[in-house]
Structure formats: C-alpha cells, structure tokens
Amino acid sequence: MRHISVEPPPFFHRGPSPLARLAFFGLLSLALLFADTRYRYLESVRHAVAVVLYPLQRAVQLPAEVLAQVTSYFSSQAALAEDNAALRQQLLSEAPVVQGYQLLLQENARLRALLNVEKRFQGATTAAEVLYSGRDPFTQKLFVDKGESAGVQPGQAVIDEVGVVGQVTRVFPYMAEVTLLTDKDHAVPVKVELPELRFLSPNVEIQAGDKLLTSGIDGTYPSGLAVAQVVSVERETGQIFARVTCKPLAGVEKSPHLLILGRAAAPPQRPEEPAESDTPRKGRGRHRG
C-alpha cells in the first residue's frame, strides 16, 4: 500500500505562514504608528497619498452630491409652487378688503374736499348723495337723496369738490332731480379766469387751456365756481363767433357725493329813473328888455 504525501509540491511553496505574516505586519504597523506619532516621519507620505487619492474620492462622491442637488432643486421647486399658490389664494381673499380700504380712502378725501368747499359759502348748504341716473338717454339728469323734507328747492345750484355739476330742476318729498351741466338744454353764464398779470388787454381772445368760472349774473350760481376748461377753439373765416369746445372740471357723472347750495340772494332791483318835469327850466342868462 502506497503512502500519499499531503505536502504541496515545491513550486506551490507560499512562504511564511499566515500567522507569521499577521504578526509581522502587526508589529510593522505599531512601529510606523509610533514613529509617525512621535517623529512625524510619514507626514509627507500621507500628504502625497491624499493628493493622489483626491480625484478618486471626488469621483466617488460626485454621484451622491449630484443626486442630493437634484433632489433639493425639485424639493425647492415644489415648496415654491406651494407657497406661490398659498400667497395667490391669500391675495385673492384679501383683495376685496384692500379695494374697500382704497375706496374708503378716496371717499374720505372727496368728503374732506367737499367740506372745505362748503366752508366757502355763508348760506345754507345741503349735502346729498347720488341715488341713480336718469333713464332718458336724451337728457343728462340724476337723482339725489334730498328733497322737500330737507329744504331743497328748484333752481338751486349743485356742485362737487371741484366745481359745478348742475342745477336742481324738480323736487320730490325725499329726493330731487338734478339737470347736469352737460345737458343740451342747460346753460351756465361763465367768464374766463384771467391770469394775474398787470397791463393785460381786456379784449384778449380765449385760448385752449383757459379755465371758465361762473359769472354770477344769473343769480343762480355764485360767482367764481369752476365750470370747465377750454379744450379747443375753432375760428372760421367769415364767422363772427368762434366755436369753443370745453370739458367739465367737475365729476359730472362720477361724484357720489354732492353739495346743494342755498338760493343766492336776489340782486338789488334797478333804481327807477326820476320822472321828467313838465315845467320848462329857467335859464341862467339875463332877460333883455
């Protein structure tokens, strides 16, 4: 019977045993650690290895960083979209409040201006609010919430914080009809507001941009109320009068609050001329005999 050897052939010889290798490298590691800790011999080697391995480290970390940035980008976009939608919804819900606040500010400013205008007149005035416009498309009228019960009478002038709006034409117990300045059958005596310049000729022609004021000669409108502004002046050859186009200064159909002025005092009557005497006047010269 043959004896089989379990020893490897000579060309398969692997050197020291694994245990010896472990002991050798363990001692070598301890020696290197001691030398590096105490004398820092491996500092340059460590820096060189770090420089060589840095591109490899960045290449390994790059996919994770790109993935994190992409995830953060889409997360930020989603969060921004949600915030934008929430802010839009909040803006829509608060828009009526903001608009109402702005309307209140505008109305308050108009009322303050109307109050300042009221202080200019010594007579009785009545504040009124517009109810609705007239239904007739061929006339320019509106109705206010003050009538006979508030002492309103036909013929009273109606203004806003800027100027003349119209005139009361009909009065009801609790409302009144106002014919607007722009009505084709309504007329207001006006004068041109002259600049405060000395030595200005009294026959200066009217020009675009001039401001027209009430003259007060009709006894209805007080003198000096703003009426309109001249937009254009057309002079045709052979015509005596020029065609003047004006734009009302007051908010004729836009002012919600108006002021009804009291009746202006009646102008003094024209004095009567003395009757001529039937007896002849005596001459001052001497009578010759």
Please say whether the beta carbons of 165 and 178 come within 8 A. yes
Question: Residue 25 phi/psi, 5° resolution?
Answer: -70, -30
What DSSP string describes 100-111? Answer: HHHHHHHHHHHH
Q: Which fold has domain 125-195+207-261?
A: Thrombin, subunit H (2.40.10)
Q: What is the pLDDT of residue 203?
A: 57
**Do the beta carbons of residue 212 and residue 194 sit within 8 Å?**
no
Polymer length of the chain: 289
In angstroms, rounded to a whole number, what is the distance separating the alpha carbons of residues 7 and 26?
28
pLDDT bracket for residue 254 (50, 70, 90): confident
Q: What is the mean pLDDT of residues 253-259?
A: 85
Q: Average per-residue pLDDT in the chain?
A: 80
**Helix residue ranges, H only, the chain:** 18-39, 43-118
Q: What is the pLDDT of residue 187?
A: 87
How far is residue 271's CA from residue 257's CA, in Å, rounded to a whole number? 41
**Residue 192 buriedness (CB in 10 A; 0-12 / 13-18 / 19+):** middle
Residue 282 has pLDDT above 70, yes or no: no
pLDDT, tens only, 162-220: 889 999 999 999 999 999 998 988 888 888 887 654 454 555 578 888 899 988 888 88
pLDDT in tens, 40-99: 777 777 788 888 888 888 888 888 888 888 888 888 888 899 899 888 888 888 888 878
Query: Tell me: the pLDDT tens digits for 88-141?
Result: 888 888 888 878 878 788 777 777 777 777 777 766 788 899 998 888 888 899
Which is nearest to 157 in space by CA: 170, 166, 147?
166
Whole-prediction pTM value? 0.56
pLDDT of residue 117: 72
